[in-house]
Each structure stands twice: as C-alpha cells, then as structure tokens.
Amino acid sequence: MNANPVEQIRGLRIAHLIESDGPGGAERVLASLASDLQAAGSYNVVIVPASGEGWLGRELASTGVTIEPFHLDRPVSRTCARHLQAIFRRHRIAVAHSHEFTMAVYGAYASWRAGIGHLITMHGSRYYAARWRRCIALRAAVALSGCVVAVSTTLAAALSRDLWIRRSRIRTIPNGVRLEPVERSSLRDELGLQASDQLLLSIGNLYRVKGHRYLLDAFGVLAGRFPRLHLAIAGRGELAAALCTRAEELGVRDRFHLLGLRSDIANILAGADLFVLPSVSEGLPLALLEAMMARRPIVATGVGDVSTALADGAAGLLVNPADPPALAAAMARLLTNVAEAERLADAAHRRAAAEYTLPTMVERYASLYASAVAG
C-alpha cells in the first residue's frame, strides 16, 4: 500500500511565496498548508512582503514555520529575484510554491536560478489577463515551473485560454477546510438577538466582487415579510460605509450588522440560520466550504466552482449573480421551509467531508512537491 504523500515528504524543505499577507483566501490557504506540513515533519519557510500587514506572521507564530520578508520596490526588480534566490540557498530549499501572479513570476525565475523545483497556485483573480505583458510573464513562469495549479475548474479553463497553454498542463486542487464543531455560538448574544429572530450570514471582505450590495438589496426586499430577520456580514474593506448608508436607505440599519474581520468562523457560522454567498466572481471560496462543513443551509451565486461544490443545487440553492430579487426568493424559500433547509445542509456537509477537507488538500499538494523534487 502506498504511503501517505505527506509522510513521503517528511524532512523536505519547502518555501511558500505570496505577494500579500492580509487575511484573504489565498493567505489562509497558505497558512493552513504550511502549518500542517510543518506539523507533519517538513521544514517550511513562508516568504511575505516586508511592508505587509503581518497577518501571516501572527497566524503562524506558534507553528514553527519560518517567516522571511522580501522587498519589491519596482514592477521589475532583479534585486528581488536575487534576494529570493539567496533565501532559497540559505534555507536549503528543495521546492518553492508561489501563490498568485507576482510571486509566480519572481518565484519561478528565482527557483530556476537556484536549480530547485517550483509550482504555482492561482486562486481565482484574473487581474493578470487585462495586460498582455502580464500574460506573457505568467506564461513564461509556467514554462519554468513543474506545475501550475488552479483552485477551480473554471479558473483552470481561463488560465489555459489566457496563457495559450494546454489544459493538461494545469492541475486543479480544490481548497480544503477544517472546521471544529461548536456546541453553542456566542454570535446571537453578541448581536442581542432573541430566540425568534432569524439571522442571515455572509463572510467575505467588503469589496465589490463579493456582491454584498446585492445581498443587502435582497434583504431589503424581505424586510417587511420577515420583520425579525437580521443580516450580518463578517469581513473588512472599503465598502463598509457605503453598505451602512444603503441599509439606512432601505430602512434596515437596525437589523444590519457588520462584524468586521473575524477569526472565529466556526462560532459565527453556528449562530446563523442561513449562509449566503452573493459574489459576482469567485474561484472556490473558503467561506462556502466552511459553511458546508458547518452544516448550514446555503444560498449562493453560481460563479466559479460554487455550483460544482454545491452539486448543481443538490447541496444548496443557486442563483444568478447580481440579481437581488432571485437572491431574496431563494432566501425566503429556505427561511420558510425548514425541512428543505435541513436536507440541503446535510447534503452540503456530506459533500464537504468527502471532497473539501484540509487533509485532502494537503495530501494533493504533497504529491506535487514530491514530483517537483523528483523532476
């Protein structure tokens, strides 16, 4: 019987590179991957921007993972590439794993110069596609790398098309989550909710692509029909003030709650009656997988691989993006049909447990690391 891939790379020295270190989806995936690999016996270095927020460093502080800063003072910097190469040599790195466009390019070049294996993961944004020079740079990085990974099949197809590379060159590894059960959530007490109140929850930073304006408008549609319904959004971002203003216009400000950045995801999910993902664009969002793992009824837009995760509607209701009336109708359906909501929540949990666990994701990456070293 074949050994666990994670066991096969015990002692392997791995560098993880990322261009930002705030609490976003890509950063959370990297933190989970590096900490689990470290606990399993490999040596991990996480390379982050020197002028970043420091979130990854704090998140990994007690894991034994080493943090190294990099400096990028201009779009094209040979100094940065040489610095990365020096980090690889100082830590005797065997394989480097770059996340997103900037570090994919610099990581691929530095790894090639250092003579070590390299792989790339793209997490959902296609901002590189707006400029042909970026497409050429990313295509060159892929050529210098052993493997490029997309977190969704939708993104994999886009990468193949954008970069003019064969689809077979791109692996798809879905994100994975680990969520511990919570016996009793503190969220409802925090918000002052009564037992008869119902709570919609969305998790995601307050950016336009997350579609929170459409969710708020849908909430406004339901406000009169469900006078004890509340909406909470966990995340931070530039649209906080605009969302509060819109809630005032809709007359629901007293039932609209911005929770800010939260680390207690399991806790806040456990307090929600319904999880809503209103995004207009996604790859495979961690928040969705966490809601599935937490056995929450789900309404989501069918973007990226969301419909795949929700089994084309068998594990959650799917609506078109940017459509508040459709979003409102789906939420009302589950708020008034407890049996259907519970059935979908159970189906979502089974899907997450079978396909989207963190150990499964870590094993898949471990196999790629082993192949990169062998190659």
Structure tokens at 9: 């790379």
| Residues lower than pLDDT 50 in the chain | 1
Structure tokens at 356: 């989207």
Q: What is the pLDDT of residue 314?
A: 98
For residues 27 and 30, give the distance between their C-alpha atoms in angstroms, rounded to a whole number.
5
Q: Are 373 and 8 in contact (CB under 8 A)?
A: no
Q: What is the pLDDT of residue 229?
A: 98
Q: What is the pLDDT of residue 2?
A: 57
Structure tokens at 29: 């995936």
Q: What is the pLDDT of residue 374?
A: 83
For residues 232 and 317, give the distance between their C-alpha atoms in angstroms, rounded to a whole number.
19
Residues shown for the chain: 375
> What backbone phi and psi angles, to 5 degrees, belong to 68?
-125, 135
For residues 63 and 58, give the distance between their C-alpha atoms in angstroms, rounded to a whole number.
10
Looking only at the bridges linking them, the beta strands covering 298-301 and 95-99 are unpaired
Distances (CA, A) of 262 to 42, 219, 269, 300: 29, 22, 11, 21
Q: Which of 372, 194, 341 lies closest to 276, judged by CA?
A: 341
Structure tokens at 20: 């930002």
pLDDT in tens, 275-318: 999 999 998 999 999 999 999 999 999 999 999 999 999 999 99
Q: Could you give all domains of the chain from N- to C-terminal order, each with its CATH number?
A: 5-176+357-374 (3.40.50.2000), 187-355 (3.40.50.2000)
Q: What is the pLDDT of residue 74?
A: 80
